[in-house]
Amino acid sequence: MTKPRSPVWHPFTQHMLQPDMIEVARAEGAWLETPGGTRILDGISSWWVTTHGHCYPPIMAAIQEEAGKLDQVIFAGFTHAPAERVARGLLDIVPNGLSHVFFSDSGSTAVEVALKMALGYWRNIGEPRRRILALEHGYHGDTIGGMSVGARGVFNAPYEPLLFEVGRIPFPGNGHERDALEVLEAVCAEGDVAALIIEPLILGAGGMLVYSPTVLEDLKRVCDRHGVLLIADEVMTGWGRTGTLFACEQAGIAPDIMCLAKGLTGGAVPLAATLCTGAIFEAHLSTDRAKTFFHSSSFTANPIACAAAAANLEVWKREPVAERIATLGQNQADRLVAFRSDPRFKAARRLGTITALELEVRDSGYLAEVGPKLYRFFLERGVLLRPLGNTIYVMPPYCTTADELDVIYQAISAGADALTQ
């Protein structure tokens, strides 16, 4: 009997080319498992969210406990203990100067909140600053604001009429640092820039492009000189991915607004937070109700999600997470060595626990034909990697062992053998 086709429409999926999905029944550590018992090594943390490992016991226990006490409550006019714990816990670990926490439910929404905070700040203090700047090749989600500040291309071309104009700063990669800073300086000097939004140190969906902490520090310095708010989108880079708890730490900077999601709950359930300075909060503080910050979602600060995040904060406080990250980073670096001299690849690079390299092919970029072929090849060998076109990246959970990394990198080498002949 033919299995009926599912009515589910999956994200970033061309169903004409990929009609069948792989069902996953359970997960533990770095592994996914199908109903039939096939195991798949999760080399990308299930889209960059799983930090300590799947079904991490302290976080699962916190979810179960909170689910028996409080499922959901409106967050306008009400609060609850898990949200208060998470907010105070975040302020203990984020860069100094951030003082208020606004909850939402996804990275894209955290970015929308940040943009609205920035524009609301300037409006409420009576300064006509409405211009937003963003880095070339950046990606900040799939909502209208997130797409607007992201790079224009295949991701958002159909929706161009909905997007607002954004100033672009050249990507400050190796050899182009001065170009980026000079453009930023010139644009900010015009006096109408409200904010610059960046992915600190590494651009994710844009191709795992890396730039230095020194440049990040310089970007912040230019913004400060012109009174421009800096929004750090740490949705992907936060929670240890770049080797430190937050990428901004490596540049010694404190952004005016910070976006967090993905690893906020250890990757267990959806939750996001946008943090801001006291000045931004106070610009919305008024007896004039028109100055209210008008943003919400029905599930703002869901208690069960906040319980997961509070448990994650305790894991970071009580367990040797930093040591696990350092070990994983070194193990990643060790396995990347052989690829640096492999003529089938170029631009092998690492930042913290993330590695990336480009497979030499005739067509490159996100729509490179080799991307889906590699994806299928890896799955056939029990490894989940989802290349960005010809860019192969590895971003595994922090529990991933050296032997498990060997499985991943052996699959990458074998994939190059199979698909470049």
Residue 237 to residue 153: CA distance in whole angstroms: 22
How confident is the model at residue 368, as a pLDDT? Answer: 87
Beta pairing partners, 358: 346, 391
Of 169, 194, 223, 225, which Cα lies nearest the Cα of 118? 194
Domain residue extents for the chain = 59-318, 320-419
Of 72, 97, 119, which Cα lies nearest the Cα of 294? 119
Residue 86 to residue 307: CA distance in whole angstroms: 8
Pick the CATH number of 59-318 from 3.40.50.720, 3.20.20.70, 3.40.50.10210, 3.40.640.10: 3.40.640.10
Instruction: Please check whether residue 195 is in contact with residue 232, taking contact to mean a CB–CB distance below 8 angstroms.
Output: no
How confident is the model at residue 4, as a pLDDT? Answer: 75
Instruction: Please check whether residue 6 is in contact with residue 20, taking contact to mean a CB–CB distance below 8 angstroms.
Output: no
Tokens found for residue 177: 């640092």
Pairing between β-strand 193-198 and β-strand 229-233 as defined by DSSP bridges: parallel
The residues near 17 (Cβ < 8 Å, ≥ 6 apart) are 372
Instruction: Please check whether residue 273 is in contact with residue 104, taking contact to mean a CB–CB distance below 8 angstroms.
Output: yes
Instruction: Please check whether residue 307 is in contact with residue 82, taking contact to mean a CB–CB distance below 8 angstroms.
Output: yes
Distance of CA 120 to the CA centre of its chain: 24
How confident is the model at residue 362, as a pLDDT? Answer: 87
The CA distances from residue 15 to 10, 12, 156, 388, 410, in Å, are: 8, 9, 18, 18, 29
Q: In this structure, what DSSP letter does residue 2 have? A: P
Per residue, what are the HEC states of 208-252?
CEECCHHHHHHHHHHHHHCCCEEEEECCCCCCCCCCCCCHHHHHC
Q: What angle do CA 87, 75, 265 make, to 5 degrees?
A: 45
Distance of CA 250 to the CA centre of its chain: 17
* pLDDT 10s digits, 60-101: 999 999 999 999 999 999 999 999 999 999 999 999 999 999
Tokens found for residue 45: 């943390």
Instruction: Please check whether residue 203 is in contact with residue 173, taking contact to mean a CB–CB distance below 8 angstroms.
Output: no
Of 267, 148, 262, 248, which Cα lies nearest the Cα of 199? 248
The CA distances from residue 143 to 140, 146, 176, 230, 243, in Å, are: 9, 5, 30, 20, 29
Dihedral, 408, 414, 416, 421 alpha carbons, nearest 10? -170
The domain made up of 320-419 is a member of CATH 2.40.50.140: no
Residues (pLDDT < 50) of the chain are none
Beta pairing partners, 40: 32
* pLDDT 10s digits, 166-189: 999 999 999 999 999 999 999 999
How confident is the model at residue 1, as a pLDDT? Answer: 52
